[in-house]
Amino acid sequence: MTGLLASLARTGAVAGLARVAGLLAALVLARRLGVEGYGLLAATLGAAALGGRIGTLGWPALLTRALPRYRSRRAGRAPARLQATGDRMVARGSLGLAAGMAAAGVLAGGTVGLVLVGAAVLVPVMAFRAMSRAALAGLGRPGRAIAADELLPPLGVLCLAVTPLLSSPAAAVAAHAAAGLAAVAWARHTRWSLAPRAPGDTPPARLRRAWQVAALIALTGLSARLALLRADIVMLPLLASVAETGLYAAAQKLSLLQSAPVAVLVTVAVPRITAALAAGRLRHARRLYRGAVAAAAGSAAIVGAVLCLAGTPALVAVFGTEFALAMPALTWLAVAQVAAAPGLVATGIALALGRGRAAAALAWTALLFGVAANLVLIPVHGAAGAAAATAAAMTLLTAGQLMLTARVLRPAETRAGRNNSASPSTKASSSGRA
C-alpha cells in the first residue's frame, strides 16, 4: 500500500503539471485565435484524437492489459515482442487512416475539409502518443506515461507559442504535430530502454494474430467511448457554428482539470489490479478497485464544485471576455466528468477480465444515445446542449460499466472469466516466453 501511495503521489504531481501546461497552452491559443479560430482548432484536435484512437487498432488497450501480466510472470522477450508488433501495426493503421482523411478533406472542402486535412496531419502522432502512454503504464512507469501523452506535448506548444508563428489554426496544428512527435520520440527511447528487444526478434505469426484479435476487440469499445467524448465537438460546427465550438472547447478545457486525479488513478491502479488478478489475489484486487472507484468519483466531484463556484470569472480570466458565454456548458461538463470518473476505472478492469465485448456493447449504446441527444439539443442550445447530451450519455455509460464490473468481479465468475479469457492475452503470455 505504501508503494501504491508513493506511485500515486509521483504520478499525481506529473498529472497536475500536465493539466497546468494544457490549460496555459489553451489560454495562449484561445487569446491568439479568438472564439472562431479556437473553435476550428478544437474541432480539428477532436477529429484527430478520434482518428488516432482508431488508427491504433486497439493496441494501447492490449498493452495496458498484457504487459503487467507478462511482467508478473517474467515472460522473457514477450514485452519487447508485443511492443514491436504493436508499433508496426499502429504505423500501418494510422498512416492509412490519415491518408483517407486527407483525401476526404480535399473532396469535402470548406470548414469540414479544413478539419479533416488538419486532423489527418495529427492522426499518426495521436496514435503513437496513445501507444507510448499505454506501454509506459504497462511497464510500471505511470508518471512517464502521463508525461509522454499529456505534459510534453502542451509544453512544446507553449514553447512555440512565445513566437509570433502561432497566428492561425493551421500554424497551431503544425505546432501540435511537432510537439507530439518530440514527445513520442522521448517515450520511444524510454520504453525500449525498459524492455530491450533483440534485432530480428519477431514473434510467430500465430501469436501476432492472437494479439491483433485481442486488440481489435478492445478497440470496438474504446473507440466508441472516445467517439462519445468527441462527438459533440465534431458535431457542433455542423449543427451550430464554429463560435459555439470555441465556447464548448474552452469549457471542456477547464472541466478536464477534474480528470487529472482520475487519470492518475487509472494509470496507476488499473495495472496493479490487473497484476493482482493475474496472481489470483482476488480480495486484494477487489479492495483496490473499490478504493479507486470511490477516489475517482470523489476527486472529480470536488474539483467540479470548485469550477462551478469559480464560474464565469474563471472563464473570462483564462480565455478572455469572448468566452463568458461558455458557463452553461462548463456546468454540464462538470457533471459529465463526475459521471464519467468511476466508469474509467471500471472499463479498465472489465477489459482486463476479458469482457471487451460487453464493454463495447455498453459504449456503443451510450454513443448512439449521445449522438441522438446532440442532434436534438445542439441546434437549440448550442454548446450548452452538447454538454448536456454528454452528461446524460456518460451517466448511462458509467451505470452500465459499474454493473458489468461488479458482476465479473464476483469470485466464481472471475475464475470463469480468467479461464475463458486465457484468450489472446493470457495464451499469448505463455507463447511469448519462447
CA-CA distance, 309 to 304, in Å (whole number)? 9
Does residue 4 have a pLDDT over 90? no
pLDDT tens-place string over residues 375-419:
999 999 999 999 999 999 999 999 998 988 888 777 654 444 444
CA 325 to chain centre: 27
**What are 311's three cell numbers?**
464560474
| Phi-psi domain of 41 (left: phi exceeds 0; alpha: psi -120 through 50; beta: other) | alpha
**What are 329's three cell numbers?**
456548458
- Amino acid 420 reads N
Whether residue 63 contacts residue 83, with contact meaning beta carbons closer than 8 Å, is answered with: yes
Whether residue 135 contacts residue 82, with contact meaning beta carbons closer than 8 Å, is answered with: no
Counting other chains too, the contacts that 365-372 makes at CB distance below 8 Å and 24 or more residues apart are 365/396, 365/397, 365/400, 366/224, 366/225, 366/228, 366/393, 366/394, 366/396, 366/397, 366/400, 367/224, 367/225, 367/227, 367/228, 367/231, 367/393, 369/393, 369/396, 370/228, 370/231, 370/232, 371/231, 371/235
H helix runs in 240-257, sequence order: 242-255
**What are 352's three cell numbers?**
482486463
Q: How distant, in Å, are the alpha carbons of 195, 212, 286, 376 from that of 427?
A: 20, 13, 24, 46
Percent of the chain with pLDDT over 70: 86
Q: Where are the domains of the chain?
A: 2-196+204-432
pLDDT tens-place string over residues 302-361:
999 998 888 788 888 888 888 889 899 999 999 999 999 998 888 877 776 767 678 778
- For residue 95, the SS3 value is helix
- Amino acid 375 reads L
pLDDT at 383: 92
pLDDT at 330: 92
3-state DSSP helix/strand/coil percent for the chain, to nearest 5? Answer: 90, 0, 10
**What are 86's three cell numbers?**
504493436
**What are 139's three cell numbers?**
511497464
Does residue 34 have a pLDDT over 90? no
Does residue 163 have a pLDDT over 70? yes
pLDDT tens-place string over residues 111-148:
888 889 999 999 999 999 998 888 888 887 888 888 88
Does residue 422 have a pLDDT over 50? no
**What are 17's three cell numbers?**
503539471
Strands of 292-377, DSSP E: none
Rounded mean pLDDT, 237-260? 86
CA 332 to chain centre: 20
Axis crossing angle, helix 242-255 with helix 356-408, rounded to the nearest 10: 30
**What are 66's three cell numbers?**
498484457
Scored b (16 or more CB within 10 A) or e, 26-53 reads bbbbbebbbbbbbbbbbbbbbbbbbbbb
Confidence of residue 15 (pLDDT cuts 50, 70, 90): confident
- Residues, the chain, total? 434
Closest CA to 151 of 122, 121, 129: 129
